[in-house]
């Protein structure tokens, strides 16, 4: 896949996901207007990359599935991601003013509304995830809802956010940092790949391989995100760099230096590509996506 082909692919999928998200969230003219406006502000107002839903769709494609049936589940993953950003930005958490280039939810509205907008999006995610999938047994969808909840909850994303908060303002080892990332961002990114593969109709082996791809992708993502926080362009990032340092947070560059961090990211990208080795060109979008992570940091 050439860079241009990938760009077209990503633009197309982004449009598809955003159209579907827009259809699932009530208009800001309908009550409760303030809540709906806040949800729309964070979900649709800031132009996110839609990486998680695109991973779901791409994983389904990689196993030969079509994308329309998994679109509601893909949107569910974006709702969960967005809710986590809204809550993480709150004054009691990271206290950020800017997200995806626009004011954070509690800045544009207020804290109570932001808490509720996050709660509403997390709840909506499971409404979308409970959509039956033509050609797949309902039991498979049930199993993937449970998987999603595990990876988004205590043993996944929420637990990782707790570990992250507890690690602020004190020495963190590389093993602890890795543990935070595996939970805080890694679990949900892995879930996207696993769920997309399973609901796209993949067999056991394919699902296992895409799970492994998602795991490596998640780590590569976090390491490159840490690097971007040091060297990044705020216009590209949509938020101010230097955030980790401001919060005295551990990061790969801080613990091992930029050069070593770049090497580590390269290793993870290699592991991700290795997991995809038996797949046909149907997995090319996933291959291009993981390569793109590294490109952002150069």
Rounded CA-CA distance 104/89 in Å is 7
| 137 in contact with its own copies (CB under 8 A) | yes
| 119 in contact with its own copies (CB under 8 A) | yes
CB of 288 to its own copies, least distance (A): 31
Give SS3 for 68: helix
Rounded CA-CA distance 69/78 in Å is 16
- Residue environment code for 230-257, b if the CB has 16+ CB neighbours within 10 A, otherwise e: bebeeeebebebeebeeeebbbbbbbbe
- Of the residues 1, 28, 162, 256, which one makes contact with its own copies according to CB under 8 A: 162
| 153 in contact with its own copies (CB under 8 A) | yes
The two structure tokens encoding residue 171 = 């020495």
- Of the residues 123, 173, 260, 270, which one makes contact with its own copies according to CB under 8 A: 123
| 152 in contact with its own copies (CB under 8 A) | yes
- Name which of residues 34 to 63 contact its own copies (CB under 8 A): 34-36, 39
Helices 3-24 and 51-62: crossing angle in degrees, nearest 10, is: 110
> Measured from the CB atom, is 59 or 76 closer to its own copies?
76
Dihedral pair phi/psi, residue 288, rounded to 5°:
-70, -35
The two structure tokens encoding residue 181 = 């990332």
Give SS3 for 98: strand
Burial class (CB in 10 A: 0-12, 13-18, 19+), 141: buried
- Of the residues 132, 135, 234, 257, which one makes contact with its own copies according to CB under 8 A: 132
> Measured from the CB atom, is 55 or 141 closer to its own copies?
141
CB of 88 to its own copies, least distance (A): 9
- Name which of residues 99 to 118 contact its own copies (CB under 8 A): 110-113, 115-116, 118
**Do the Cβ atoms of 81 and 124 come closer than 8 Å?**
no
| 244 in contact with its own copies (CB under 8 A) | no
Closest to 214 in 3D by CA, of 140, 289, 296: 289
**Do the Cβ atoms of 194 and 211 come closer than 8 Å?**
yes
Local structure of residue 162 (DSSP, 8 states): H
Choices 158-166, 223-231, 257-265, 279-287 (CB under 8 A): range interacting with its own copies: 158-166
| 146 in contact with its own copies (CB under 8 A) | yes
| 278 in contact with its own copies (CB under 8 A) | no
**Contacts with its own copies, residue ranges (CB under 8 A):** 25-26, 31-32, 34-36, 39, 83-84, 87, 90, 92-93, 110-113, 115-116, 118-120, 122-124, 126-127, 129-132, 137-139, 141-143, 145-146, 148-150, 152-155, 158-159, 161-163, 165-166
């Amino acid at each position: 896949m050439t860079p241009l082909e990938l760009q077209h692919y990503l633009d197309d999928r982004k449009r598809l996901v955003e159209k579907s998200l827009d259809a699932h969230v009530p208009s800001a003219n309908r009550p409760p207007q303030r809540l709906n406006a806040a949800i729309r502000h964070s979900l649709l107002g800031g132009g996110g990359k839609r990486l998680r839903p695109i991973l779901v769709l791409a994983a389904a494609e990689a196993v030969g599935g079509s994308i329309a049936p998994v679109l509601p589940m893909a949107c569910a993953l974006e709702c969960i991601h967005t809710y986590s950003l809204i809550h993480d930005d709150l004054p009691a958490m990271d206290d950020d003013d800017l997200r995806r280039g626009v004011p954070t939810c509690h800045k544009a509205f207020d804290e109570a509304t932001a808490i509720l907008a996050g709660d509403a999006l997390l709840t909506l995610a499971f409404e979308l995830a409970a959509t039956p999938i033509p050609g797949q047994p309902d039991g498979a969808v049930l199993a993937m809802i449970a998987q999603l909840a595990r990876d988004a909850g205590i043993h996944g994303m929420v637990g990782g956010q707790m570990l992250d908060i507890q690690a602020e303002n004190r020495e963190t080892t590389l093993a602890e940092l890795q543990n935070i990332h595996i939970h805080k961002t890694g679990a949900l990114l892995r879930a996207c790949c696993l769920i997309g593969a399973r609901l796209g109709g993949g067999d056991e082996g394919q699902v296992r391989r895409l799970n492994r791809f998602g795991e490596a992708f998640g780590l590569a993502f976090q390491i490159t995100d840490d690097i971007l926080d040091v060297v990044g362009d705020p216009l590209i990032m949509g938020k101010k760099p230097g955030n980790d340092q401001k919060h005295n947070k551990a990061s790969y560059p801080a613990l091992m230096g930029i050069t070593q961090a770049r090497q580590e990211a390269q290793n993870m990208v290699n592991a991700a590509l290795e997991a995809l080795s038996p797949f046909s060109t149907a997995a090319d979008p996933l291959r291009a996506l993981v390569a793109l992570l590294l490109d952002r940091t150069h």
